[in-house]
Amino acid sequence: MCDQTIMSPGTLARLVCEWPDLSLGDIVHIVQYDAIEGYLVRTTTHLEEIWLPVHVLSNYNRKPWSFRFRKPSFPSHGRRSVDGNSLQENVINEVSCPEFLDKMKNLAAQCGSKVVFKCKVKSCGGNMKISWRKTEPDPCVMRSSGRFVLNRSNGVASLTINNSRLSDSGSYLCTISNEIGSTQCSAILTVTDSLPPLTEPKANVISCSSVLLEWENDTYDKFLVEYCKIGSGEWLSPNNGQAITARAYTVEHLTAGETYSFRIVAAHNKLVGLPSAAVTLPVADSIRWQQEQFKRRYIELEEIGRGRFAIVRKAKDRGTGQEVALKEIIRRKQSHKITQAEYALLAGIRFQNIIHALALFENAPIPGVDTIVLELVKGALLFDYICEKEMYTELEIKNYSKQVISAVNWLHDQNLAHLDIKPENIMVDLSGVDPILKLIDFGDCVNTNTSVILPPACLEFASPELVLGQPVGQHTDLWAVGVLLYVLLSGVSPFLDDSVEETTANILKCDYCFPDEYFSDISLAVRDLIQKLLVLVPIKRISMGDCLDSSWFKEVRTKDVGISATNLQTFMQRRHPANLTSKTSTFCTD
């Protein structure tokens, strides 16, 4: 589960575990908090702000979780320490925002020469940290080792590269930070041999998905072609790195509507040429047709949900007047292939407790966004619906749980796993006589014939194998259902503790209990069922089919004691602090 203390915008946070393109201990800036998506952060390795789950971040002022022995304390008057990554100086004085007095400049050098990047740093006090990174090509953290030397002296931070090589060419970034904030400066290093550098290629758009590159060079005889989608920071090869001898090449299979830059690399010494001017590809006729069809058919109304990869809007069919939900998925966050698979799954499902898909529009309403048209659930999240009452009963929870377990059991019978079962992905349809639960958001749903490793989207409902980065599958759903039952019956979380580290430890030890304060009137049968679901060894967890055959669903209790909704209300307020007073119905996705 996410830490109870919400970090405000501007706060420095530290990564407490590895994350794609980031490392344990990296410092990021909090830009925005969202109860479902986590934190929007600014990092030194991304050209744009990115979302990170709450469980991977810890306040920078807190001691990071580590298995190292505690270091002895130092005198309060100050300390200077040096490691391979950065230079730190702790001095008790007035702390101000970091600032460069002189920024480093672009450099050019011959192979074998010494290169020194320098930047003058204003003394800002506090726990100041200076770090260096090579951002492209081949991004990496710079450390003092071998040919590389990091230094700081008399307010000047420097990066020295001895015996420079052609592969050292690229962009370098220097970051200074303290408790107040951080700032960065960058410069480009061009290392050449005795041969002249490569010029930028001329890029000519020839279709909505292809660009013709042409360049002049009489020095080299073989070339590599690379392209980069603006904003990604990643240079890719269009032909799997095969060298060509021609002075022209057509790059195909690009995305219409996107903006690209191109460059040429000398094959024999990997000398990188200058990038071309950015070109934006036109929208294809087929894409324009999709967009026109979308606009002709649907009137987009208000936003009703937001998740990690998508925004959900309410809409009305112009022809039939039917209200639907539009799940608009951003391609750079979730691949088109996954979106197609999600739609194919939901379109083929005819199970009353699983949401049904009606249509898929590609690159609509705008390029780079795919839209799945879904049935509109006219109701709220299940937990919000229960929290509107003062009391509810175990019998009600049994009826709700049977619907959820039936939906998951249907998926498992199809050799599928949901992999993201949590309160935000269970809605209740109130349009009929009886409430009907709907399981939503199948972005993580995969075929369990393949071992898949996923990062935990929400630590509170994550199984031990998900926390450890091990393969997940149907057994992952079983654990999440156990946590769900526990929370529904008590209003409290079985593994939540004072910190992310302690919560993680509780999950990995399966350390939980049934306090009398919450479970004294709850039947022993459902407690036994929860114990069979919350098992450390995945293969020993009870299946969904066996859950439906358990004594809890078969027993008839003569006394159905009420459960106060207060604890569950507190649980939801903690997960969604921005919606403490909101009672509006919503379609929510993650």
Give strand ranges (E) for 154-267. Answer: 156-161, 170-177, 182-192, 202-207, 210-214, 223-229, 235-236, 248-251, 259-266
Q: Residue 217 — very low, low, confident or very high, per pLDDT cuts 50/70/90? A: confident
Chain region(s) in the chain for CATH 3.30.200.20: 286-375
Q: 577 and 417 in contact (C-beta within 8 Å)? A: no
Q: State the number of CA atoms in the 13 A half-sphere of 212 facing the CB.
A: 8
Architecture of domain 382-575: Orthogonal Bundle (1.10)
Question: Maximum CA pair distance of the chain?
Answer: 92
Q: Is the pLDDT of residue 11 over 60?
A: yes
Active-site positions read 420
SS3 category, 415: coil
The per-residue pLDDT for 272 is 84
* Six token digits for residue 518: 């919450």
Q: Provide mean pLDDT across the span 7-14.
A: 79
* Cβ neighbours of residue 191 closer than 8 Å, sequence gap 6 or more: 108, 109, 110, 111, 115, 164, 165, 166, 167, 168, 169
73-87, 414-428, 555-569: lowest mean pLDDT where? Answer: 73-87
The per-residue pLDDT for 122 is 81
DSSP letter string, 35-86: TTTEEEEE-SS-SS-EEE-GGGEEETTSPPP-SSPPPPP--TT-EEEE-SSE
Of all helices (H) and strands (E), which one includes residue 89? strand 86-91
The per-residue pLDDT for 474 is 92
121-135, 374-388, 492-506: lowest mean pLDDT where? Answer: 121-135
Q: Provide mean pLDDT across the span 552-565.
A: 85
Q: Which CATH number fits domain 104-192: 2.60.40.10, 1.10.10.10, 1.10.1240.10, 3.40.30.10?
A: 2.60.40.10
Between CA 522 and CA 467 the distance in angstroms is 29
Within 10 A of 576 (CB to CB), how many other CB atoms are there?
A: 19
pLDDT, the chain, mean: 82
Q: Residue 467 — very low, low, confident or very high, per pLDDT cuts 50/70/90? A: confident
Between the alpha carbon of residue 378 and those of residues 323, 324, 333, the distances in Å are: 10, 10, 28
In terms of pLDDT, which residue wins out, 394 or 179? 394
Within 10 A of 27 (CB to CB), how many other CB atoms are there?
A: 17
Bridge partners, residue 141, by sequence: 133
In terms of pLDDT, which residue wins out, 449 or 166? 166
DSSP letter string, 8-24: PTT-EEEESS-BTTB-T
Q: Residue 69 — very low, low, confident or very high, per pLDDT cuts 50/70/90? A: very low
* Cβ neighbours of residue 361 closer than 8 Å, sequence gap 6 or more: 290, 291, 293, 294, 370, 371, 373
Chain region(s) in the chain for CATH 1.10.510.10: 382-575
Chain region(s) in the chain for CATH 2.30.30: 11-59
Report the CATH superfamily, name and number, of domain 202-283. Answer: Immunoglobulins (2.60.40.10)
What single-letter amino acid sits at 210?
A: S
The per-residue pLDDT for 375 is 94
CATH 1.10.10 for domain 11-59: no
Q: Provide mean pLDDT across the span 95-107.
A: 82
Q: 79 and 90 in contact (C-beta within 8 Å)? A: yes
Q: Is the pLDDT of residue 584 over 50?
A: no
Q: 210 and 189 in contact (C-beta within 8 Å)? A: no
Between CA 435 and CA 560 the distance in angstroms is 20
User: Parallel, antiparallel, or unpaired for β 182-192 and 107-110?
Assistant: parallel
SS3 category, 172: strand
Report the CATH superfamily, name and number, of domain 286-375. Answer: Phosphorylase Kinase; domain 1 (3.30.200.20)
Q: Provide mean pLDDT across the span 569-581.
A: 73
The per-residue pLDDT for 520 is 93
Q: What is the pLDDT of residues 264-301, one digit of tens each?
A: 998 876 778 889 988 888 877 777 788 889 999 999 99
Q: Is the pLDDT of residue 131 over 80?
A: yes
Q: What is the pLDDT of residues 403-419, one digit of tens each?
A: 999 999 999 999 889 98
DSSP letter string, 290-310: HHHHHHHHEEEEEEEEE-SSE
User: Parallel, antiparallel, or unpaired for β 310-317 and 323-330?
Assistant: antiparallel
In terms of pLDDT, which residue wins out, 217 or 489? 489
Q: Residue 581 — very low, low, confident or very high, per pLDDT cuts 50/70/90? A: very low
Q: Is the pLDDT of residue 156 over 90?
A: no
Cut 0.85: pTM above it: no
What single-letter amino acid sits at 500?
A: V
DSSP letter string, 508-560: HHT-----HHHHTTS-HHHHHHHHHHS-SSGGGSPPHHHHHTSHHHH---S--
Q: Provide mean pLDDT across the span 553-568.
A: 86
Percent of the chain exceeding pLDDT 90 equals 37
Q: Binding residue per annotation — 122? A: no
Of all helices (H) and strands (E), which one includes residue 565? none
Bridge partners, residue 15, by sequence: 57
Chain region(s) in the chain for CATH 2.60.40.10: 104-192, 202-283
